[in-house]
Chain A
Amino acid sequence: MQIAIETHEMEQGRQGVRHARFAFAAVLLSVVACLLAWGVPAYAITSISIEADSVEADTAKLRKVRAEWKLDGVVQVQADIRPAESADWQAVSLACMQPARPLPDAWQCAEGKLTMPGVNMPFSAQVVQASGKPQYQVNVRLQQASFSSPAGTQAAEKLDARLSLDLQRQAAGWQWQAMLDWTGGELYWQPWYFAKGGHQVSARGYYAGDVLRVENAELKLAGVGNARLQGSWQAGKLQDLDVDAQELELAPLYALLLQPMLTDGALGKLELGGKVGVKLVLQHGEPVSATLMLKDVDLEDKNGRFALYKLNSRIPWSYNEAQVVQLAYAGGHVLKIPLGEASILADLNRYSLTASQLYLPVLDGALSLTDISATRAGGDWHWHLRANLIPISMPALSHALGWPRMEGKVAAAVPMMTYSGGQLTVDGDLLFQMFNGSVAVSNLSMQTPLGATSSLRADLEVQRLDLGDLTRTFSFGAIEGKLDGSVKNLLLSNWQPVSFDADFHNSPGRYRKKISQRAVENISALGGAGAAAAIQRSVLRFFNEFNYSKIGWRCQLSNDVCKMSGVEYTSQGYVIVKGSGIPAITVMGYNHNVGWSDFLSRLKRVTEGNASPVIE
């Protein structure tokens, strides 16, 4: 260590002590204090400087340390610092202006500035000791301070803040009281961003050994609300905590704190309103009890997948005893299917949720759920239940889903529905009674129903659908008759068909079998240019409808190609409509492999009524 005192008349002798193992602040303060005690100003000194080649501490190394104390009150310390975990030296400097007339028992630093790579922190600080007592008041004020971590993941700009801290030495530690007022500037602390200040923390507590106790903290988050907190930390680890925050505004709370943590879940893009309250108790670092209150919360997924309105809920939780969860909402929707007002009670027992019966109105029917049991294990929910779908009318459902209006109703009896690891499996059948016939959906399972890679598997069985109703609904051109069929191994990915084996044909039995000229043209048009139907223009011109004996169509979809066939094969192709009587008409398909997307766009053109039939 080198100590140099520059004066007009004399230069004091230098002594070198290298590799002093002192904490940085200790060196600075003790040397300056010693010099002051020696009464140095008597020599009309202009500046005093202290240099040390190397100072080592547990957390950092310093080199080229130079502290300078000028008579105009400026104290400046410069050094290269290397944090223990880093290989690079960084230049750091700290400057202070000490007032000409310092307060008694006070240390002041006005127009202070701490500079190092990533940190530019103008500040002023003051430490006042109550006369002769071990009692201190610390005031620090940051003015337009900025800092940034090397990767920029924690950074602040133009930060204005005030910290006041009262410390009182007690037998074993310190009694403290603090107030932090963040008045302005922006802060990014990945993943959170605070655009402006207005947030405050006040707290008091006790600090002894490695235990920090916060007895009464009050947190004010601008625009969101207040929280009360008490807790204790040992060696930097949270021991006990008691948080109570009521009447928090959910929309700003979500935007400020929750959304950044929920970016990859189903709750990542919500439009919210209403209020929320939270109580949380931790003991020995583990949660013991909690209560979540939702008050008139409106919740809407911005991707339009679900919404709940006027949601009120009280969700108490305790590690030790079972609690009753209450939840009610005025309405909402899931995948555009409207939900009616509902009120739910369930038992929450540590990590499992059970309810004997839930009744959820859906459109003009309802979903009645029984024997519900849900468990959270391994960070994932697993649940199972029995479900009954009390009939929903098809006109309402088709309207909700934006489909053409359909008559009939849908009902379901599901003896067991399970959800585990993102997979929803339904045992039992969904039964749609529609078009005077029925569609049964069985072996239904879904993977991540609300995700981007949702997939659905099912088998469909169709019985005696009224072709008249069906063709009218989809404006296909009139066909009279009844339709049977099946769709086996249906796989939808992102709600689009990937593969299936569909086989439809007219039902056995006696009924009126007529096909209109337009339907004939449309079926022909579906085949595309290369799959023209064997239709004679002359015949079409004179008749509006024809008799048929068989209609059938089979499509095995895989790899975006539909392998098509009909009711029977001929040497040229396959028969889709086989005529009977006079005038008889036969609609043929010639293409055995039809591109699925081509087929869909043709079907769209046909059902939208601007079909240009291909007749050769």
Chain B
Amino acid sequence: MKRLMNILVLLAGLMTAMLVQAADMEVNTPAITGLKGSMKARHGQLAGFYASGAVGFTRDGLITVRDANTVPLAQRQSVNTLVAAENNDRNALYKEIANANGHPEWEAEVRSTFAQRWIQKAPAGWYYQDASGWVKK
């Protein structure tokens, strides 16, 4: 009986800990809606560059120009601008989600969760960075 109680207490403790610790990644604020909207609008412009390998996902939840050689010279600057704008939004999103959870210090955790999520959701053929370098999914 005592053992059962111990287990129950432990379970209850664990659940509380999980409830307290788990950041809600789906939390919504108008700023998050705005950021997701602008990222969604931009995704159409970026998708082709992900597919060609010009742009890839980094380990810290951002994107970077990986191999611009497939992009005509005149368009490389706009790719660079798209990447900068996307990273701006992504950084703001992670910060905002952490803030909306009431824990600004969770930003790093939010970022790494999203980094994994972007890579999981990416279709085959897109590039992402892991510890060893660039990987084609």
Which residue of chain B lies nearest to A148 when distances are taken between CB atoms in the complex? B69
Which residue of chain B lies nearest to A263 when distances are taken between CB atoms in the complex? B84
Contact between B28 and A560, CB atoms less than 8 A apart: yes
Contact between A452 and B38, CB atoms less than 8 A apart: yes
Contact between B74 and A195, CB atoms less than 8 A apart: yes
Known contacts A452-B35, A453-B31: A155-B76 contact under CB 8 Å: yes
Contact between A193 and B65, CB atoms less than 8 A apart: no
A47 to B132, CA, bound (A): 49
Contact between B31 and A493, CB atoms less than 8 A apart: yes
Q: How many A-B residue pairs have CB under 8 A?
A: 90
- B67 lies within 8 A of chain A by Cβ: yes
Contact between B69 and A152, CB atoms less than 8 A apart: yes
CB-contact partner of A264 in B30, B34, B88, under 8 A = B88
A453 to B92, CA, bound (A): 7
Which residue of chain B lies nearest to A451 when distances are taken between CB atoms in the complex? B92
- B16 lies within 8 A of chain A by Cβ: no
Size bracket of the A interface: 20 to 34
Contact between A188 and B76, CB atoms less than 8 A apart: yes
Contact between B30 and A496, CB atoms less than 8 A apart: yes
Q: Which residues of A contact B31 (CB under 8 A)?
A: 452-455, 493-494
Q: Which residues of A contact B29 (CB under 8 A)?
A: 493-494, 498
Which residue of chain A lies nearest to B54 when distances are taken between CB atoms in the complex? A152
Contact between A191 and B77, CB atoms less than 8 A apart: yes
Nearest-CB distance from B92 to chain A (Å)? 5
CB-contact partner of B81 in A151, A157, A263, A494, under 8 A = A263
A602 to B38, CA, bound (A): 26
- Chain A positions 168 through 196: 1 when the CB is less than 8 Å from some CB of chain B, otherwise 0: 00000000000000000011101111010
- Chain A positions 440 through 474: 1 when the CB is less than 8 Å from some CB of chain B, otherwise 0: 00000000000111110000000000000000000
Which residue of chain B lies nearest to A192 when distances are taken between CB atoms in the complex? B77
Contact between A188 and B28, CB atoms less than 8 A apart: no
Contact between B84 and A153, CB atoms less than 8 A apart: no
A454 to B96, CA, bound (A): 10
Contact between B30 and A153, CB atoms less than 8 A apart: no
Contact between A186 and B92, CB atoms less than 8 A apart: no
- A495 lies within 8 A of chain B by Cβ: yes
Known contacts A452-B89, A452-B92: A193-B73 contact under CB 8 Å: yes
A495 to B92, CA, bound (A): 16
Which residue of chain B lies nearest to A454 when distances are taken between CB atoms in the complex? B31
Contact between B80 and A190, CB atoms less than 8 A apart: yes
Contact between A151 and B68, CB atoms less than 8 A apart: yes
A468 to B92, CA, bound (A): 43
- Chain A positions 141 through 167: 1 when the CB is less than 8 Å from some CB of chain B, otherwise 0: 000000010111101110000000000
Q: Top 8 nearest A-B pairs by Cβ distance?
A: A152-B68, A496-B30, A152-B69, A193-B77, A493-B31, A263-B84, A494-B31, A453-B31
| 10 further interface pairs, Cβ-Cβ under 8 Å (given A264-B87, A452-B31, A496-B30) | A150-B67, A152-B68, A152-B69, A157-B73, A191-B81, A263-B85, A264-B84, A454-B31, A493-B31, A493-B96
